């Protein structure tokens, strides 16, 4: 089992502070640690994790606890966290035996023995979107009207985490900020396990950072492809690691 060591120290010299975005890590903790290494991620950088931390892969809880321990990681809800939280609330309505609730929740994960109440509470407090000066991050999709991005207040939580339409190639949101999202493996659209950039309809600038694009689709489908990728928001540079055969 690989171990993440954080915060990482780099050599002295100039360090550019970077924002990185990723989605759909799905319990692939060891691969995620290798990706942080490949990126050269350090304590001055920020990491935006756009949902679906859990399920499918082997180390959902380990990964979640690690991300929640990082002071510069910003996680939001994906449909898998949303479904987990719905299950949690349903259990809490059925019984006041909280130990049995935690036991049932632990049964949701291959590494469920690691789950504690602190981690459940952290899941419960995750926001549904994130916004910086440069971009918007959601798990699945944003509300649009005639191609124009609507404010978050017009979205339902279900749309933010389950939307199936936003990923389509003909959906090119017009707004001042790029929308980063995941949820559906890019391979279902392109046949490739690579982060997909959509240029702005009204602008032919060569892309530098993600702000020069209208949307960026991040899901490399790690549980199918063994490929995990992230993008540096400021430069648009992508980083990938691959599961060893």
Part in contact with Mn ion (CB under 5 A); list of ranges 39-47, 48-56, 96-104, 220-228? 48-56
Strands (E) located in the chain: 19-22, 46-49, 73-75, 130-131, 135-137, 144-145, 148-149, 178-181, 196-199, 213-217, 227-232, 238-242
CA torsion 179→184→190→191, rounded to 10°?
150
The three-state secondary structure class of 5 is coil
Report the alpha-carbon distance of residue 172 to residue 12 in Å, rounded.
42
Q: Does 78 bind Mn ion (CB under 5 A)?
A: yes
* Total residues in contact with Mn ion, by rule CB under 5 A: 4
The three-state secondary structure class of 220 is coil
> How many separate helices (H) and strands (E) can be counted in the chain?
8, 12
Q: Which is nearer to Mn ion, 4 or 184 (CB)?
A: 184
Please report how close the Cβ of residue 25 comes to Mn ion at its closest, in angstroms: 11
Interface characters, 171-200, with Mn ion (x: CB under 5 A):
------------x-----------------
Query: Taking a C-beta distance cutoff of 8 angstroms, is the pair 67, 53 a contact?
Result: yes
Interface residue with Mn ion among 45, 52, 111, 163 (CB under 5 A) is: 52
Q: Which is nearer to Mn ion, 4 or 160 (CB)?
A: 160
Q: Does 45 bind Mn ion (CB under 5 A)?
A: no
Interface residue with Mn ion among 29, 41, 76, 79 (CB under 5 A) is: 79
Please report how close the Cβ of residue 27 comes to Mn ion at its closest, in angstroms: 13
Q: Does 28 bind Mn ion (CB under 5 A)?
A: no
Chain residues binding Mn ion by CB under 5 A are 52, 78-79, 183
């Amino acid at each position: 089992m690989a171990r993440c060591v954080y915060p990482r120290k780099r050599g002295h010299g100039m360090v550019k502070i970077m924002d990185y975005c990723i989605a759909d890590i799905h319990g692939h903790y060891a691969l995620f640690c290798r990706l942080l290494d490949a990126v050269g991620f350090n304590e001055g950088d920020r990491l935006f994790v756009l949902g679906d931390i859990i399920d499918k892969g082997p180390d959902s809880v380990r990964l979640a606890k690690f991300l929640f321990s990082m002071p510069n990681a910003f996680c939001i809800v994906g449909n898998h966290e949303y479904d987990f939280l719905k299950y949690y609330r349903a259990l809490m309505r059925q019984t006041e035996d909280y130990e049995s609730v935690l036991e049932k929740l632990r049964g949701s994960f291959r590494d469920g023995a690691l789950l504690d109440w602190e981690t459940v509470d952290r899941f419960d407090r995750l926001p549904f979107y994130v916004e910086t000066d440069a971009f918007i991050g959601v798990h699945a999709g944003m509300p649009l009207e005639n191609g124009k991005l609507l404010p978050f207040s017009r979205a339902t939580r279900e749309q933010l985490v389950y939307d199936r339409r936003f990923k389509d190639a003909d959906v090119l949101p017009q707004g001042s900020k790029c929308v980063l999202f995941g949820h559906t493996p890019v391979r279902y659209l392109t046949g490739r396990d690579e982060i997909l950039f959509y240029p702005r309809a009204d602008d032919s600038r060569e892309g530098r950072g993600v702000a020069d694009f209208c949307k960026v689709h991040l899901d490399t489908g790690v549980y199918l492809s063994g490929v995990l990728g992230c993008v540096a928001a400021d430069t648009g540079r992508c980083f990938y690691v691959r599961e060893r055969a």
